[in-house]
Amino acid sequence: MSGSSGPLPYSMRDVDAAGATTSPATVPSRLKALATNRAKYQCGKFTVGKFLSLLMVFGLIYLLLHKSPDGFVSGRVHDKEVQKKHVWKAPNIRTLWRKPPRLPPRLPPNEIYKNNSLLQQSPPSEWASRQKKVKEAFEHAWSGYRNYAMGYDELMPLSHRGVDGLGGLGATVIDSLDTAIIMGADDVVSEASKWIEDNLTKRISEKGQVNLFETTIRVLGGLLSAYHLSGGDHAGSNDSGIPITYKRANPERLLEVSKDLADRLLLAFTSSPTAVPLSDVVLRDRTAHAAPDGLSSTSEASTLQLEFNYLSRISGDPKYETEAMKVLEHIRTLPTVEGLVPIYISPHSGQFSGENIRLGSRGDSYYEYLLKVWVQQEERRDSNLKYLFEMYTKAMKGVKHLLVRKTVPNGLVFVGELPYGQNGGFSPKMDHLVCFLPGTLALGATKGVTKKKALENNLLTDEDIENLQLAEDLAKTCVEMYFVTSTGLAPEIAYFHIEGNSEVGPDGGNKSSKYINDIIIKPLDRHNLLRPETVESLFVLYRITEDPKYREWGWQIFQSFEKYTKVDSGGYTSLDDVTSLPPHKRDKMETFFLGETLKYLYLLFDDSNTLPLDKYVFNTEAHPLPIMRAAERTSHSV
């Protein structure tokens, strides 16, 4: 109950003062009157001494019944450490009589988990109804887009316009299609697939510059996933868990347009003097070029392989896979810092550029795809793709050694940065983007099966168990980045208090969060773009650990999106400042809100194990692709 220091009731203040001193000068007038008029003072033989004794007895009883020293609630690992250090102190008697706060404070997630229905586990019908609410949110998001921005890349939900921020291929349509298939949102499936059939080929042949990475993960990935979920490679409902009665798209058309797009994107690889692709492609000219500074982001160059590999499989043409895999084979030969790599790479020299190391922007999905490309091709895991798992394992060791720290005072585990390389200083900064890592670590530990099954079958090494624990600790930190703010939504970037670091800045605004002093949110970092990474990790962790708290946390996050980002006329919007109420709206709905955020929330609340993680691998834009197994590959000519 810290922070509830409201004014004391008048009578209690008098008694407290009287008990604190024997000086007549300080005895309140009411007690003085009682002392000089014994007849008046005695009421049913009730003396001052008896009254004070009784008060003390009540005080002691109150203490025994209500206490846990200053509201401390023990939690997991780091909480225990704090608990050890905690020394119980008898509270000042004033604190016994505090007026209760008028509103119950918002508890941090762990405390809510312990205190309310979470442990009783909401019944399946509750999750079905929550899942339905996510589907309704998706349909609301789509309706805004369809009404005001159909065919544009993104919706501006406040100004009722569309905007082409991704090259003009109708990115929201394509990012949304597989989500609609998975949810059984049949009208959206019809509208999106019709738009693709009527428009996309023309757009691809006419549009100008697009970014290789964004177009691959959102557009190519979306088309390929929809192809698979529409039965393109003869997947039955048993594989995906998607009911075959759900509306699907036309897989032949999706494959055709995927190949057309990928053939143009391939120029980024084949025009480069090294194995590192150029960052941009001019679709209509069939040319490619580097970014103005000549550099590519490491994550962008290395986050293309799931999509190109799968296209090779379904088209029977190995060229896509061959070009994309050259990047990882090349990066394998470059020097690293304990498996960690700088965030820039030059397509001209093929070398990393600079020393800035982080798992946030420009670094993130490099680590994700090391694992997922290995996961994708099951029959090659122990042979020619083994190097990828080794690179991933080494990198995670590097993360634990060089980047993982704990906050003060409450021991939140986070992943910081090395902006000047291994020999420069440590920065306690973490992008929300880093919140993909708990999901990746959990997937890497069990390879997609449940923790229970992995333990029963003796599949987990000590390192797997350690990585799974780190995944759980980091997921908690990511969730606290939401709960520490006034809106319950995370900022784009957070800084963390660590021992001996002078990092300062304002807090998130939710004064009842236990972590209000652990997390710093600077003014320029307070925006929220409807990003998916935290709910993505909650989904993976729920599937793997089966711990219901991950669902409850996801539900709380979803409710905050509903409360603060929903636009009545249709769509959802990014926010400028998650720490102020009401938050200022930014007028942009990112495609990944439909492609990722709502899809992961829907799957988090799903009870049927749709898209099981040992059969599917989600690309970095949440487009599920099937894990390729030996028998399946031999029937295709790659």
Site for ligand DMJ in 402-441 (CB under 6 A): 433
Q: What's phi and psi for 457, nearest 5 deg?
A: -95, 15
Q: In the complex with ligand DMJ, which residue's Cβ is closer, 297 or 513? A: 297
Binding segment (CB under 6 A) for ligand DMJ, from list 136-144, 259-267, 282-290, 525-533: 525-533
Minimum Å gap between C-beta 486 and ligand DMJ is 22
Instruction: Catalogue the long-range contacts made by 254-257 (C-beta closer than 8 Å, 24 or more residues apart).
Output: 254/196, 254/223, 254/224, 254/226, 254/227, 254/230, 255/227, 255/314, 255/315, 256/201, 257/196, 257/200, 257/201, 257/204, 257/223
Count Cβ atoms below 10 Å from residue 333 Cβ, excluding itself: 8
Phi-psi category of residue 530: left, alpha or beta, with phi > 0 → left and psi -120 to 50 → alpha? left
Q: In the complex with ligand DMJ, which residue's Cβ is closer, 433 or 475? A: 433
Question: CA–CA separation, 188 vs 199, rounded Å?
Answer: 16
Q: In the complex with ligand DMJ, which residue's Cβ is closer, 552 or 596? A: 596
Q: In the complex with ligand DMJ, which residue's Cβ is closer, 110 or 176? A: 176
Q: What's phi and psi for 501, nearest 5 deg?
A: -105, 140
Minimum Å gap between C-beta 461 and ligand DMJ is 28
Minimum Å gap between C-beta 367 and ligand DMJ is 11
Residue 303 · residue 369 · CB < 8 Å: yes
Catalytic site residue from 492, 525, 590, 606: 492
Please identify which residue in the block is written with the tokens 């799931």: 306
Tokens read off for 404: 């993982």
Q: Applying CB under 6 A, which of residues 145, 592, 593, 618 lies at the interface with ligand DMJ?
A: 592
492 is catalytic: yes
378 is catalytic: no
Minimum Å gap between C-beta 368 and ligand DMJ is 7
178 binds ligand DMJ (CB under 6 A): no
Answer yes or no: is 336 a known binding residue.
Answer: no
Q: Applying CB under 6 A, which of residues 215, 279, 365, 467 lies at the interface with ligand DMJ?
A: 365
Minimum Å gap between C-beta 440 and ligand DMJ is 11
Chain-centroid distance, C-alpha 482: 10
Residue nearest to ligand DMJ (CB): 620
126 is catalytic: no
Handedness of CA 479, 481, 486, 487 (dihedral sign): negative
Minimum Å gap between C-beta 296 and ligand DMJ is 15
214 is catalytic: yes
| DSSP letter (8 states) at residue 439 | H
Site for ligand DMJ in 599-628 (CB under 6 A): 620-621
DSSP, collapsed to helix, strand or coil, labels residue 28 as coil
Catalytic site residue from 323, 364, 368, 552: 364
Question: CA–CA separation, 58 vs 81, rounded Å?
Answer: 33
531 binds ligand DMJ (CB under 6 A): yes
Which residues participate in catalysis according to the annotation? 214, 364, 492, 533
Known binding residues for Ca(2+) are: 620
- Which residues would be at the binding site for ligand DMJ (CB under 6 A)? 365, 433, 531-533, 592, 596, 620-621
